[in-house]
């Protein structure tokens, strides 16, 4: 997980393919909420959900989808 955060933080997204998504989420929030503390408070549920997703993937408990593509 450290590679995901590092890749988004220092613009080296090649460290993890998911870094670009984390960067997009962070930048989107920062453009909507100017105050850093308010932005962090608003983002905590997103960070918690992303952390849970990574934790489940590492533990091989990640949810598999069987959606049919059109």
Q: Is residue 69 part of a domain?
A: no
65 located within any domain = no
Task: Render pLDDT for 12-64 as a digit per residue (tens, 0 to 9).
Answer: 656 677 778 888 888 899 999 999 999 999 989 988 888 888 888 777 766 66
Check whether 8 has a pLDDT greater than 80. no
9: in domain? yes
User: How many separate domains does the chain show?
Assistant: 1
pLDDT at position 5 over 70: no
In a domain? residue 66:
no
Q: Please tell me the pTM assigned to this model.
A: 0.64
pLDDT at 14: 63
Range of the domain at 47: 2-58
Q: How far is it, in rounded angstroms, from Cα 8 to Cα 19?
A: 5
- Position 52 scores a pLDDT of 86
């Amino acid at each position: 997980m450290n590679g995901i955060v590092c890749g988004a933080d220092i613009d080296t997204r090649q460290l993890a393919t998911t870094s670009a998504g984390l960067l997009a989420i962070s930048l989107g929030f920062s453009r909507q909420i100017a105050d850093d503390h308010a932005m962090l408070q608003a983002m905590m549920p997103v960070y918690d959900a992303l952390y849970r997703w990574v934790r489940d993937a590492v533990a091989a408990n990640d949810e598999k989808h069987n959606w049919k593509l059109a």
